[in-house]
Amino acid sequence: MAITFCLYYSSPETRDYLTKVVQASRQGTLLEALPLAQLPDKVNSGANAVFLEYPGEDRVLDAWIRRTTADHRNPPIFLYFQEITTEQLWKALRLGVKECFVFPIRPEEFQEALDRLPVLPAELGPAEPTRLTAFLGCKGGVGTTFVAVNTAYLLAQESQGQVLLVDLDLRYGQMVHFFDVKPQYTLVEVIENAENLDRSYLQSLFYQYDKNLQLLPAPLRLEDAEVVTAERLDPVLRYLKKLRIFSHILVDLGQNLDEPALKVLEMAENLIVVANQSIPALSNAKKLLDLLELLGLESATFGLWLNAWQKHGDLSVEDVSAFLGREVRGTIGHAPREVTRSINEGQPLTRQEPGHAVCRDLKLLAAQLSGRETPESKASRWGLLKLFRR
Ligand SMILES: Nc1ncnc2c1ncn2[C@@H]1O[C@H](COP(=O)(O)OP(=O)(O)OP(=O)(O)O)[C@@H](O)[C@H]1O
Ligand SMILES: [Mg+2]
């Protein structure tokens, strides 16, 4: 599908240069090109994006950009600079600009920006409430990130709207490696700018992985984890849910039950607890499930999933159920070679080998989250879980 641009430039040389950049991309096409002196008050409603040259400090232009980005019906703005300072870059982001380019623009850099453009609101489904799902591991290494990443990918393929995957494993989050991406921004920028949040500014901080999947990574440095507190996370999550731009927000909590994780659990509609077939993981699972129940998190639809499940292992699903006093919602098969390869190659297995048995299991989990589950599976609510207890 073509992506139409309105181009506003300061000189004919820039016009020709930027026209070439747009036309060299896969989908880019020009709708109109006007000198900055004729910048229209309102952006052409047929445009998918605005390409604007920023010739230097200009309050009038800043005000135009702010006005344009504040109205979410307007297309996103790409800014072009001959040269740029760090201050200008930050200012541009605060103004709600989607992308900044500096001369010379590499074709692949521009193409990546086009691929990151979010689906336009008109292409999204009806504004359903956003469903927040937390993935909590009983123990390190049980596959929480693998399960969260692949579930997010599957939900995004259903095209019921945009899906956001947040890495809240604040110290050792590894989500970016599972997708082999290097997003420019992390949770830190979102939290630090929480008071300036608006729709387009927020979306400029998320990394668009593909048409319907956006990513928000954990902080890059260990010491930055401190920035993400429960108090600061709360308004961000509330705002994101209120916006209704995402059909699903999935959060990888790792094995953390710290304050930010509890905040997510408090607000989540779904909680997926991930364990595996080992005694240490199951013994942790028991403690964790007892605690969660004690904390009164009954409102979330709960599911215990056993990852890397080996049918002919030492324990059967019934053994695990009996040990935990709770129903096991599902199992995800054991495929060390394929799973490790997908992680090392930075491609979700559900993308790389969608027909694999492990992906069929993951599809059942995605179906549960998108409300396509069977009536029996709904029995896995906390309230009913009490019936299974010793
Ligand atoms: N279904 C599976 N079959 C076989 N191996 C798996 C499966 N899922 C995950 N693994 C393996 O387990 C390892 C850990 O996976 P992952 O990083 O997703 O776990 P985690 O619980 O998020 O770990 P961490 O505690 O580091 O956050 C991976 O290297 C992967 O190879
Ligand atoms: Mg992990």
Rounded to the nearest whole angstrom, what is the distance from the C-alpha of residue 372 to the centroid of ligand 2?
27
Rounded to the nearest whole angstrom, what is the distance from the C-alpha of residue 79 to the centroid of ligand 2?
36
pLDDT in tens, the chain (390 residues): 578 899 999 999 999 999 999 999 988 889 889 999 999 988 877 788 999 999 998 999 999 999 999 887 788 999 999 999 999 999 998 999 999 999 999 999 999 999 888 655 444 444 578 999 999 999 999 999 999 999 999 999 997 888 999 999 999 999 999 999 999 899 999 998 887 777 767 777 899 898 889 999 999 999 999 999 999 999 999 989 988 889 999 999 999 999 999 999 999 999 999 999 999 999 999 999 888 888 877 556 789 999 999 998 889 999 999 999 989 999 999 999 999 999 999 999 999 999 999 999 999 999 999 886 544 444 443 333 333 333
Rounded to the nearest whole angstrom, what is the distance from the C-alpha of residue 114 to the centroid of ligand 2?
30
Rounded to the nearest whole angstrom, what is the distance from the C-alpha of residue 173 to the centroid of ligand 2?
6
Ligand positioned closest to the Cα atom of 334: 1
Rounded to the nearest whole angstrom, what is the distance from the C-alpha of residue 198 to the centroid of ligand 2?
30
β-pairing verdict for 207-210 and 213-216: antiparallel
Q: Is 359 helix (H, G, I), strand (E, B) or coil?
A: helix
C-alpha dist (Å) from residue 54 to 57, 61, 70, 221, 355: 8, 8, 18, 33, 48
| Protein residues placing their CB within 5 Å of the ion ligand 2 | 144-145
Where does ligand 1 bind, in terms of residues with CB under 6 Å?
Answer: 137, 140-146, 169, 254-255, 307-308, 332, 334-336, 339-340, 343, 358
Ligand 1 mutation target, pool 170, 337, 339, 356, most atoms within 8 A of CB? 339
Report field, pTM of the whole predicted structure over 0.85: no
The distance in angstroms from the start CA to the end CA of the chain is 57
Question: Would you give the DSSP letter of residue 220?
Answer: S
Domains of the chain: 3-117 (3.40.50.2300), 131-388 (3.40.50.300)
Q: How far is CA 1 from the centre of its chain?
A: 23
